[in-house]
Amino acid sequence: MLAAIASATLRGTMGSPVSVEVHVSTGLPGFTIVGLPDAAVREARDRVRAAFLSSGLSWPMRRITCNLAPSGMRKGGAGLDLPIAVGLLVATGEVDAASTQGLAFCGELGLNGSLRHVPGMIALADATAPRGLVVPLCDAREAALVRGGDVHGAANLGDLARVLRGQAPWPEPPPPSRAPSSAHEPDLADVRGQAVGRRALEVAAAGRHHLLMIGPPGSGKTMLAERLAGLLPPLTPDEALTVTRIHSAAGCSLPDGTLFHRPPFRAPHHQASVVSLVGGGSWSLRPGEVSLATSGVLFLDELGEFPVAALEALRQPLEEGVIRVSRAGGTVTFPAAFLLVAAMNPCPCGEGVYEGACTCSAVARARYRRRISAPLLDRFDLVVPLSRPDPDELLSGVPGESSTAVAVRVAAARARAAARPVPERGPDLAPDADALLGSKLRSGALSARGLHKVSQVARTVADLAGEDAVSFAQVAEALSLRAGRAAVVS
Ligand SMILES: [Zn+2]
């Protein structure tokens, strides 16, 4: 007898519909899965059989063939366990085919028959519409974020079989998601002094300028970077869905089980693998840190310690806002549009040129600088030298301005920039500001690309001040916000 059950498989951050066909016939007992299954799907045979036996369901001693259609597309992950099991129940006459009409099934089976979490439930729920969807009870709330009321949860295969036979009602859906609590984000009020670093954060947030902070240990680079996401505006509904979909596909838990509403902050360690940074994996192709930081902040502390391969892999997302990952399982394009903030010591010993206490040899310093390639360095509009804070400021006990106050200025500057028509020939500069840039260009202190960057940053500084024309002082500030390049360009 033949059964066809609707399901879906995850490809990157998107789901693709899959029809699971199960055929049971006389012949030598066996269980074959065809239709480009990955290793996890092939192992479904063992999980499904054990789950049947643990749930008190009889295992057919017949020839079982399972086809995953369309057969040309690779299928990954353990989420097809449940539709295979349900197809088997229908094909053996344990449950009526009519009871599965209009329903799709996604879930992993434990050997004891329990239904387990599968990553990417948001994408799978999208791909199985407009059918009703049956998922593990623990995933019902996540699936309902994009589907609303037609999601059913089941705790285990035995319970599900009783529901499909009409012997029990669907289990109570989990309570609706709580309103998102105001998650705690670190506040700029905790940062004493650090006028240059605070200003750099504000300009970075207002103009979406990538920021590199260069300073010795103890100069507050990490503390500042952790406060950048808190200055960004809340996510738009589209951004919220994209960010949540990426986190769901990566198997991350969602904040309070609801959509993300604040920009994410990701801070991968420099010893993290390149795959965890850019995404990938052998078959199922999970999104990496650059994608998890989409619409938020990617913080790379100790930038000079990251492997060169990892830093070079950042160039595509920084240029295109996406990352393409190719593995045996195919090529997948992940979103990867983030605000990059990085921090590094000025030299291996950390003391650098600013403190005058550096003990590094000229060779060691040159080698350290070469780790950051010129094309990567060019991606940073802001390269800011930081020094250790003044002890008097630390001891004064006067709190800094709060993130909320700065975020108000950032939002106003962004609104101002969004309302302005795109200028044909760069920003509107006051004559003396134009002359200042011209003299930097002629003296060789600025390249043509650098000139463009400085005028963009100066435009953001003017937007923060609420001014239409860019003044001499604003260009001078933009120049000072890239003064750190002197420390890393030999
Ligand atoms: Zn040094």
pLDDT of 180 reads 56
Residue 198 C-alpha to ligand 1 middle, in angstroms? 25
Rounded to 5 degrees, what are φ and ψ at 9? -130, 155
CA of 167 to the centre of ligand 1 (A): 74
Q: 350 CA to middle of ligand 1, Å?
A: 5
Which positions ≥6 away from 480 have C-beta within 8 Å?
A: none
DSSP per-residue string spanning 125-179: HHHHTTSEEEEEGGGHHHHHHHHGGGEEEESBHHHHHHHHTTSSPPPPPPPPPPP
Query: Where does residue 58 fall: left (phi above 0), alpha (psi -120 to 50 degrees), or beta otherwise?
Result: beta
CA 484 to centroid of ligand 1, rounded, Å: 15
Domain boundaries of the chain, sorted by first residue: 2-164, 188-419, 421-490
Residue 14, beta-bridge partner list: 11
From the candidate CATH numbers 3.30.160.270, 3.20.20.210, 3.30.230.10, 3.40.190.10, the one assigned to the domain spanning 2-164: 3.30.230.10
Helix or strand (DSSP H, E) at 325: strand 322-327
pLDDT beneath 70, residues of the chain: 176-183, 282-284, 328-329, 353-356, 397, 424-425, 489-490
Q: How far apart are alpha carbons 30 and 40 in whole angstroms?
A: 18
What length does the chain have?
A: 490
How many angstroms separate the CA atoms of 1 and 338, rounded?
52
- How many other C-beta atoms lie within 10 A of the C-beta of residue 454? 23
Angle (CA) 25 28 31, round 5°: 70
H or E element at residue 310: helix 308-313
**For residue 41, how many other CB atoms are within 10 A of its CB?**
25
- The pLDDT value given to residue 73: 83
What one-character DSSP code corresponds to residue 100? G
**DSSP summary character for residue 303:** G
Cα 366 to averaged position of ligand 1 atoms, centre (Å): 11
User: 153 with 139: CB under 8 angstroms?
Assistant: yes
What are the residues facing 9 on neighbouring strands? 16
**Per CATH, the architecture of 421-490 is what?**
Orthogonal Bundle (1.10)
Q: Provide the 3-class DSSP secondary structure of residue 4.
A: strand
**Topology given in CATH for the domain delimited by 188-419:** Rossmann fold (3.40.50)
DSSP state letter for 257: G
Q: What is the pLDDT of residue 424?
A: 65
The residue behind tokens 């709330």 is 141
Give residue-wise pLDDT tens across range 316-330. Answer: 999 999 999 887 667
User: Ligand 1 centroid to 481 CA: how many Å?
Assistant: 22
What is the predicted pLDDT for the residue at 387?
85
- pLDDT of 329 reads 61
State the distance from the centre of ligand 1 to the C-alpha of 486, rounded, in angstroms: 15
CA of 303 to the centre of ligand 1 (A): 16
Separation of CA 343 and ligand 1 centre (Å) = 16
CA 240 to ligand 1 center in whole angstroms: 43
Distance 444 CA to ligand 1 centre (A): 27
The confidence score (pLDDT) of residue 282 equals 65
Is residue 225 within 8 Å of 188, Cβ to Cβ?
no
Ligand 1 centroid to 170 CA: how many Å? 66
Distance 346 CA to ligand 1 centre (A): 7
User: Hey, do 2-164 and 188-419 end up sharing a CATH topology, with the first three levels equal?
Assistant: no
Residue 356 Cα, ligand 1 centroid: separation in angstroms?
Answer: 9
Q: So what's the pLDDT on residue 177?
A: 59
Would the CA dihedral through 455, 461, 466, 471 be positive or negative?
Answer: negative
Report how far ligand 1's centroid is from the alpha carbon of 13 (Å): 44
The three-class DSSP label of residue 273 is: coil
Give Cα 431 distance to the centre of its chain. Answer: 43
β-pair partners for 21: 4, 67
Beta pairing class for 211-214 and 382-385: parallel
Output the CA 80–ligand 1 centroid distance in Å: 55
In our burial notation (b when 16+ CB lie closer than 10 A, e otherwise), range 200-219 reads: bbbbbbbbbbbbbbbbbeeb
Q: What residues have CB less than 8 Å from 89, skipping those under 6 apart? A: 57, 95, 161, 164
| Å from CA of 219 to ligand 1 middle | 15
What is the rounded (10 degree) CA torsion for 170, 96, 52, 156?
-10
- Centre of ligand 1 to C-alpha 355, Å, is 10
CA of 370 to the centre of ligand 1 (A): 15
Distance 487 CA to ligand 1 centre (A): 11
In angstroms, what is the span from residue 87 Cα to ligand 1's centroid? Answer: 66
C-alpha to C-alpha distance for 357 and 376, rounded to whole angstroms: 28
Distance 352 CA to ligand 1 centre (A): 5
Consecutive H or E run containing 202: helix 195-207
Residue 283 confidence (pLDDT):
61
How many Å lie between the centroid of ligand 1 and the Cα of residue 478?
A: 27
Find the 353 Cα to ligand 1 centroid distance in Å: 8
C-alpha span between 338 and 324 (Å, rounded): 15
Residue 291 Cα to ligand 1 middle (Å): 34
Give the model's pLDDT for residue 480: 94
Nearest residue to 477 via CA among 489, 460, 487, 296:
460
How far does residue 375's CA lie from ligand 1's centre (Å)? 24
Whole-angstrom distance, CA of residue 29 vs CA of residue 60: 8
